[in-house]
Amino acid sequence: MRVIYQTALALIIIGGLNWGLVGFFDYNLVDALFGTGSVLARIVYSLVGLSAIYVSIMKLMPEPAPKNAAM
């Protein structure tokens, strides 16, 4: 589960950096690498979006209580 979370977090960071490039320099790295509107670019955008949803849900869920909690 931790690997999925870390992968999702990495994809969100990549997506954020790409949006930063678009905002500051009008340069879309994903489109430059895979082609504008290509299947691969759409897959990358979809994975970034799904990662954002996953990480948001995981952050909203309560943390389980520690097993060794002293009472």
pLDDT of residue 69: 59
pLDDT of residue 63: 81
SS3 8: helix
Tens-of-pLDDT digits for all 71 residues of the chain?
789 999 999 999 999 999 999 999 999 999 999 999 999 999 999 999 999 999 999 999 888 777 875 65
CA distance 20 to 26: 9
Decide: 28 and 22 in contact? Cβ < 8 Å. Answer: yes
